[in-house]
Structure 1
Amino acid sequence: MNDPALAHIAQDPIMARLIAETPSPKIFNDYADDVYLALLESIVSQQISVKAANAIFIRFRRLFPDNYPHADALLLKTTDELRSAGLSFQKIKYLQSVAEFSLANPIDRAHLDPMSDEEIVQYLIPIKGIGRWTVEMMLMFVLSRPDVFPIDDLVIRQRMLRAYSEKTEGLMGKPLYKVLHEIANAWRPYRTEASRYLWRWKPEN
């Protein structure tokens, strides 16, 4: 196993079996140098299907001359204009919050890259509509941080419950979270890669 991340997380026998059963995860990094656009896209995609989110985001971007929702231009759009893209009133407020934040606070890679993962979480969650899970997804898929463990992700928890049933059976709430963190600590400093495999793994019924 030439990949140091895989070699490390495979020291966990359960993860080794899971990796053997699972195709290598594809890594998409469409917004590698554009945290602002990634945050806008994450808001649009909340609580709707991927297909619907993609269609709405395309229509949203087409509202702007260069197909890019620059913060100042976004804030000049009327509610009716933004609604025409298929956005809800709540998501419009959240998109405007991202724009307002970006005009007052730098969110480019040069500013964020020196920060720790937790510092970035605390820096961005004051934006309305942006919670810890959203920032963790950005850390993993936009900033390519190697050691993120998104424990609040439902799929991650469900897959860990299946894979580590002997350790997690009957646990709920804080005791469950404690055990899941303990399991994931063995994957440091490559918890992002382990999480990618958990997402892609298809447990047998």
Structure 2
Amino acid sequence: MQPTDPALLHLAQDPVMARLIAETPNPKAFTDYENDVYLALLESIVSQQISVKAADAIFGRLCALFPNNYPKADALLALSFDDLRGAGLSGQKVKYIQSVADFSLTNRLDRPFFDPMTDEEIVQYLIPIKGIGRWTVEMLLMFVLDRPDIFPIDDLVIRQRMILAYPEQTEGLTGKVLYKRLQEIADGWRPYRTTASRYLWRWKPNAV
């Protein structure tokens, strides 16, 4: 981003965020999966609670089970439980990816369908899928649908970095009180909370 970027100009009105931006390499604003929400949901389930390296390996083995390395929903549902477990998925994750595939057969997951929807409407549309929670949908909104004003407060790294960046405002706070204070801080970043979150993820508190 250039210094004249409206998001950076707005965020820099917060002195703390201005310092973080100055200390942090520019995080690239990119989207994954070329708007393929279905594939992104499958990958997010595979990635849950394991390392990036392990997730990449398992997702690669899963995709290799299908023509053109693409796990189309009907083909995925036609595979046996043991076939899917053989790719390295836990039994629970097998059920979750089957839930995504089943949902996609009767519900739209294409970008034009989501474009006119609000962020919260998309959250409520997708969280009925087993294995998909608010945090997962927020990652989808940020990195696949490229929504500009997402604040993933349930992300542990975001909370930890904000506590380090705003010690005077968060000292001694826990639970719901802490969540409320973090939301209040982030309200000042609207309508560019996605950019602020990307800087928080990349910021290295001990690097300077």
Which bracket does the TM-score occupy, shorter chain normalised?
over 0.9
Deviation at 1:31, TM superposition (A): 1.2
TM-score by length of 2: 0.97
Letter in 2 for 1:15: M
SS at match of 1:11: coil
**Would you say 1:199 and 2:204 are equivalent positions?**
no
TM-score by length of 1: 0.98
**Would you say 1:15 and 2:29 are equivalent positions?**
no
Identity %: 76
Letter in 2 for 1:150: P
1:150-171 deviations in whole A, cap 9, x for unaligned? 0000000000000001000001
**1:181-200 matched pairs, under 5 angstroms:** 181-200=183-202
Matches of 2:74 and 2:40 in 1, distance apart?
17
SS at match of 2:68: coil
Aligned residues: 205
**Is the 2:30–2:146 contact (alpha carbons within 8 Å) kept by the matching residues of 1?**
no
Matches of 1:64 and 1:151 in 2, distance apart?
36
Q: Which runs of 5+ in 2 are unaligned?
A: none
Matches of 1:34 and 1:143 in 2, distance apart?
9
> In angstroms, what is the RMSD of aligned CA positions?
0.9
**1:118-157 matched pairs, under 5 angstroms:** 118-157=120-159
**Is the 1:32–1:143 contact (alpha carbons within 8 Å) kept by the matching residues of 2?**
no
Matches of 1:31 and 1:200 in 2, distance apart?
21
1:43-93 deviations in whole A, cap 9, x for unaligned? 000000000000110110000012101111000000111111111100000
**1:44-193 matched pairs, under 5 angstroms:** 44-193=46-195
Deviation at 1:138, TM superposition (A): 0.3
**Is the 1:39–1:98 contact (alpha carbons within 8 Å) kept by the matching residues of 2?**
yes
SS at match of 1:159: helix
Matches of 1:24 and 1:75 in 2, distance apart?
41
Deviation at 1:107, TM superposition (A): 1.1
Matches of 2:147 and 2:32 in 1, distance apart?
15
